[in-house]
Amino acid sequence: MAGPSAEHLEQLRRCAILHVDMDMFYVGVELLNAPQHRGRPVIVAGSGPRSVVLSASYEAREYGVHSAMPLMQARARCPSAVVLEPHKEAYAHYSRIVMGIFRSVTDRVEQLSVDEAFLDVSGAIRRCGPPVEIARRLRREIQESTGLTASVGVAENKTVAKIASAYCKPDGLLVVAPEHTRAFLAQLPVNKLWGVGRRTTETLQAAGLPTVGDIAATPLPRLHSLVGVAAGTHLHQLANGHDPRPVTPVREEKSLGAERTFERDVAETAALKRVLLGLSHDTAARLRRHGLRAGRVGLKLRYADFATISRSHTLGHPVTSAHDLYTEACSLLDGIGPRPQAVRLLGVRAEKLTGSEHALQLSLDGREAEWGAAEEAMDRVHHRFGPGTLRPARLMGPTMPNRPARDILDDT
């Protein structure tokens, strides 16, 4: 049987960007071991009094439960919900399976998170068929290999594909042909455009521009006056279906870190700095594991009333040791001054990441090399005997005002 003609192949390649998003991934993985709860409101969250919702089933979302909501509030909204403890190892396991399925079709996979990715399948059409058939195949293989479901948007660019996958959830497939792109976008509220947050939405709505179609039809000078030249031009391009960004197989890790939510609010500076030390060691170990150095250190502080502030400082040269991260984090904490309330959450971030192959400018007294060598030795002990086997003396006390750290690795 003859393959597609050159003209038909080119037409298919115009609509070959897929956005695959697993449906309620964390809940779905937990339900594999608890199938008796299918069809019920389910919340995935830790058991502590300060836990927040990691994920919620669609049944729980109907009650207004959503991710990052305090668990106590979620229980109040949905008293009948079943709460399941999260299992990070299982999420990583199933994520590897799903990403492996993607890469069996194309090497142009841009992974956004454990359960979401863009695929450019233009180079796989001759071998695997039209993009819509590839999307069907992916959904089928994911279901057969994991028991989980995925929704897929197929379009000519990343923005439209991502919107399409959200539009057809759960367990759906939506193809937006190039000639239908503007009509598909026009009906949507402006906050569906990638990067449009609450304040921009309010500004546009107040100006009588509630839909994407309104943005597309608005002259650029008016958009510039409302949201600025760069943002206005960007929004106008997206609203008209233009997004030239390619699918990028390797995403640069722009920041990583760890944060801790306290079971009881903490007010004492000494206690906060003790926690910062542990967070700095968690973050530094991950830097070394990924072969990265940090050019900037960030601090995140959330008060009892959920007000959140962040501070950061750019370093003279990139670092990888917990000692350096901790020193900078303490300096940032001291720079905040008197705190109006006790602290609910504390976090450390390593930012402006570079590869470890970049030259390291050592301190004049050589102490930086000494700290790095000591912490690498600690890494080897942990690898052999398990995490937490060897820790700084200040972290060996009987009480720590915190729960285990939650790792952060993203592109914000």
Supply 115's token pair.
């359960």
Q: What angle do CA 229, 234, 237 make, to 5 degrees?
A: 125
Q: Say which of 30, 116, 328, 351 is annotated catalytic.
A: 116
Q: Is 115 annotated as a binding residue?
A: yes
> Which run of H or of E encompasses 221?
helix 220-227
Q: Is 21 annotated as a binding residue?
A: yes
The span from the CA of 361 to the CA of 148, in Å, is 48
Q: Strand 150-155 and strand 173-175: pairing?
A: parallel
Question: What are the strands of the beta sheet with 42-45, ordered from one edge?
Answer: 53-56, 42-45, 82-84
Listed in sequence order, the DSSP H helices in 255-321 are 269-290
Count of all residues that appear for the chain in the document: 412
Which residues face 402 on adjacent strands?
A: none
Active site residue 116: yes
* Residue 235 φ/ψ, nearest 5 degrees: -65, -40
* Residue 17 φ/ψ, nearest 5 degrees: -100, 125
Known catalytic residues are 116
Which residues contribute to the annotated binding site for Mg(2+)? 21, 115
Which residues contribute to the annotated binding site? 21, 115
